[in-house]
Structure 1
């Protein structure tokens, strides 16, 4: 099967598949390159493959470790533990088992939630933080409209509510996640050709089972606890980079008070999936920041 990790990793030279037991679960990660460790975490509805365009670029200077978080891809899909604070502990234990005292860490979408939680809860183990197009959940999420605003020219994020529903989504979508994936990429990409049919099939293959749908929706169902946890977080004293396409403004609003060492970069003519649409620009921003 051409969409398995064993086949996909052959398309990204000098990277390997790896598995590790941490915090009561099993994580899959891909690793390649030499130098300082750079942990990268994908978001919904993607897998480690989301980083395949930037991995070879970043691996020229860094040891790149792309982790499929709890519930994603080839990682385990336990019944619980999807609060971002706990998922950050998954990543923390991974870094310690790999022998790292400090790491650079970044994430996109839900992966950005986990990366931020890692940096906040394990600040002594974090060198620098990279947030791609998405801030950590905060009380502002409760003000998201339940209905599309008349005349608004932005995409209404209905899936944030839909994914809160338990049991029904997996009954409706088992074997049919390509419908959701196709819709999300069509509506959240500016450059449609940046995500080809092969990419979409990779993600549909990863999300089509009932367990995969249940686990990925659990990332969303933990938002109320994530928001409560966010209220206890103190200001970071490490360098933070925010890279935004369509999410630049919300990233700017969220991160401005998160650290005294913030850099913000806007990618023009780009949607939510910055890694797919603008991989070279994104990789350069990350490299420049880490240097």
Structure 2
């Protein structure tokens, strides 16, 4: 592909993303000129910017984009800094960019390797392999490819599930592990009610209990793709706000990055497969036993759920609750998240 074609493609993509953000932002105001539009939905010059990995990494001096063919899949990762290797794994609705606020400070202490997990961002999106045990093997293969025998590993959301599985399956290769706001799938997942608890959708209450209805939606084959293709901006903007205590923490530009990633071919299907393997993940957990590797549980909105899991499945757990924090801990509380990770891993 020629340079002019690539430039045109990026400009077209940016215009499309901007149109989605603008349409979602301005439709209420068009109906009522006095209506208040949440600032997080307003279109901006940043929302029209280049959201490619090549452009994003330029915002983080000292970091570089890389790819590796490992475990039968191509993984994209961003790395920088020096010291002991610290792998960061992200989660649903996002890409490696979700750690951009904490990467520079972590890089002062560690060699930071931020991975787009299987099915995420610029990594491969095969039809199979989304159980967390296989995804943990992806990370092990990448670590070996980079020459690391033992690593620190931290994950958020789906990435936290993979991080726990890594430590459970490869304890001799795991120095320490941190789970951010989400546990590995366990029997507690089977107790989540399809009906919401009282006040779950009272968005005027910043401390409303979360209700993860999307766990069920993503179990249905083919339906999410049909419902969401071309509409992921609606779902992602809703989820970023629903699971946040600080709705400004994920900016319009950040949202544009994630919307572009999840409009890519195969992205929605890959997203569903992370959830469709929860049953297998729960079965795999039964064979792991209690985790002996030291683990940090850093929780916001899901702290109690994470604490319940670690009380049953970890022998040595350090628990930290970030008060008045939603699900997006690295974006909502970057300073506290960085400090907790540096203290735990050093």
TM-score of the aligned structures, taking structure 2 as reference length:
0.83
Q: Does 1:102 align with 2:150?
A: yes
Cα distance in 1 for residues equivalent to 2:213 and 2:114: 28
| Partner Cα distance (2:75, 2:191) in 1 | 34
Most deviating of 30-39 and 187-196: 187-196
Q: Could you tell me which of 76, 79, 91 is aligned with 1:31? A: 79
- SS of 2:266's equivalent in the other structure is helix
Match of 2:28 in 1: none
Report how far residue 260 of structure 1 moved. Answer: 2.5
Find the counterpart in structure 2 of residue 141 from structure 1: 189
Q: Report what 1:48 is aligned to.
A: 96
Alignment partner, residue 4 of structure 1 = 52
For 1:48 and 1:28, the matched residues in 2 are separated by 9
Of 216, 219, 225, the match for 1:161: 216
Cα pair 1:175 1:209 within 8 Å, conserved: no
Paired position in structure 1 for 2:163? 115
| Alpha-carbon distance in 2 for matches of 1:140, 1:281 | 28
What are the within-5 Å matches in structure 2 for residues 250-265 of structure 1? Answer: 250-265=305-320
How far apart in 1 are the matches of 2:119 and 2:60?
23
Partner residue of 1:232? 287
Match of 1:191 in 2: 246
Contact 1:107 1:131 in 2 (8 A): yes
Q: Gaps spanning 5+ residues in structure 1: where?
A: none
C-alpha RMSD of the superposition: 1.0
Q: What is the CA distance between 1:209 and its match in structure 2?
A: 3.2
Out of 223, 231, 237, the residue aligned to residue 176 of structure 1 is 231
Find the residue that maps to 1:130 and give its secondary structure.
strand
1:25-63 deviations in Å (ceiling 9; x for gaps)? 110000000000000100011000000000001000100
Tell me: CA distance 1:38–1:209, structure 2 relative to 1, closer, same or farther (3 Å).
Answer: same
- Quote the offset at 1:151 in angstroms: 4.6
Deviation by residue 1:82-103 (Cα, 9 ceiling, x = unmatched)? 0000000000000011101100
CA distance in 1, matches of 2:199, 2:58: 46
Structure 2 counterpart of 1:274: 329
- Residue 213 of structure 1 and its aligned partner are, at CA, apart by 0.1
Q: CA deviation at 1:126?
A: 0.2
Q: Does the CA contact (< 8 Å) of 1:236 and 1:260 recur in 2?
A: yes
Aligned to 1:72: 120
After TM superposition, list the pairs within 5 Å mapping 1:217-228 onto structure 2. 217-228=272-283
SS in 2 for 1:193: coil
What is the alpha-carbon distance in structure 2 between the residues aligned to residue 15 and residue 33 of structure 1? 7
Bigger Cα displacement from structure 2, 147-156 vs 10-19: 147-156
Instruction: Give the structure with higher Rg (CA).
Output: 2
CA distance in 1, matches of 2:264, 2:230: 6
Query: Which moves more between the two structures, 276-285 or 155-164?
Result: 155-164
